[in-house]
Every structure is written in C-alpha cells, then in structure tokens.
Amino acid sequence: MPEPEDHNGEESLDQAPSKSALKRRMLALQQLGESLVVLNDKQLARVPVEDERLLQAIRETRQIRSNSARRRHMQFIGKLMRDIDATAIEQALESMHQSRQQDNDTFHQLEQLREEILQAGVSGVELVMQRWPQADRQQLRQLVLQHQREIARNKAPAASRKLFKYLRELQQT
C-alpha cells in the first residue's frame, strides 16, 4: 500500500485544527468565562467586554443556583466567547491578579514589620523611623508599650491591630 505524501516532511498549514485542539480551546474559553462570573460588578467593569450578550449571560449566571443549569449556562458563556477576541480579557484578568498579589505581598510585609517592632520593644520604633521619618515617634512608642501591657495582662491584642493600621497609613502616604 503506498504511503501518502507528507509534502516534504511538513504538515499542511491550511489543515483545520484537530477536534481535541478545538475542545481544549473551548474549555479554555469556558474557564475564562468562569473567571469573569466570580468577579463583582466593579471588577467586571474594569474588564474590556464589549459584547452585551456576554455581559448579560455573566450577570445571569451569578443568579443561578442549580448546578446543572449553571454548567449549561457556563457552556453558553463559552460559546459566546468564541465570537470575541479574548486576549484583552485575559490581559485584564492577569493585571487584576498581579495587582491583588502585590497587595497581598505588601500586607504580609507590613505584618512582618509589625512583628519585628513588637519583638524589639521600644527600640523597634527605630525600624519605623528609618523607613518613614515623618512617622509619629510618640504614637509608635505608646502603641508598643500598650502592646506589652496587654500581653502581661493576657488581654486582646488591640494595640497590635492599631499599630498595623498605623503602619498601613504610613505605607499609603
């Protein structure tokens, strides 16, 4: 039996994508649609979705509680997404994810700084003063001393929370 010609070892470029490749693409678009459904209205407004039918389907999906109906509606969203260019949506979601990750990193850094200050005691105030010279030294010192008193009396760590709030205010200025 003669073997079919393979055009000098290269596949034909005008050949349609395989059924599996199409299914992978459709599932990826459906997952992208699921990412849009979990966003609140404010976040969704920052995503460049021009198709009004897609926006309506996303809003409707949020109201559906039945698993099977939700799954069917997600498939519908995937179908609508086939008709649009999803790269701008993917980029907007990635940007939002990076922003959220950066916020989390900043939060953890402030928590770490707070712990270092509280462990160092009154001398820990200098850690803040080096980073933010405009900080109120007296307020920081009072918060550290209040924290030490709370620890000694087995009270709730209110001063620790106040210190974190003050550090966050300093970070934002």
129, HSE (Cβ side, Cα atoms, 13 Å): 11
Q: Coil, helix or strand for 39?
A: coil
Tens of pLDDT along 114-155?
A: 999 999 988 989 989 999 999 999 999 999 999 999 999 999
* DSSP code, position 49: -
Q: Which amino acid is it at 102?
A: Q
- Rounded to whole angstroms, the Cα distance separating 108 from 171 reads 13
12 DSSP 8-state letter: -
pLDDT tens-digit readout, 22-51: 888 888 888 888 889 998 889 888 888 888
Amino acid of residue 32 = L
Handedness of CA 79, 81, 83, 87 (dihedral sign): negative
Q: Diameter of the chain by CA atoms?
A: 92
User: Residue 8: is its pLDDT beyond 80?
Assistant: no
How far is the C-alpha of 84 from the C-alpha of 80, rounded, in Å? 7
Integer Cα distance of 64 and 56 in angstroms: 13
pLDDT of residue 136: 92
Q: What's the CA gap between 81 and 161, in Å, rounded?
A: 45
Set out the domains of the chain in order of their start, with CATH numbers.
19-93 (1.10.60.30), 102-172 (1.10.60.30)
pLDDT of residue 85: 84
Separation CA 130–CA 127 (nearest Å):
5
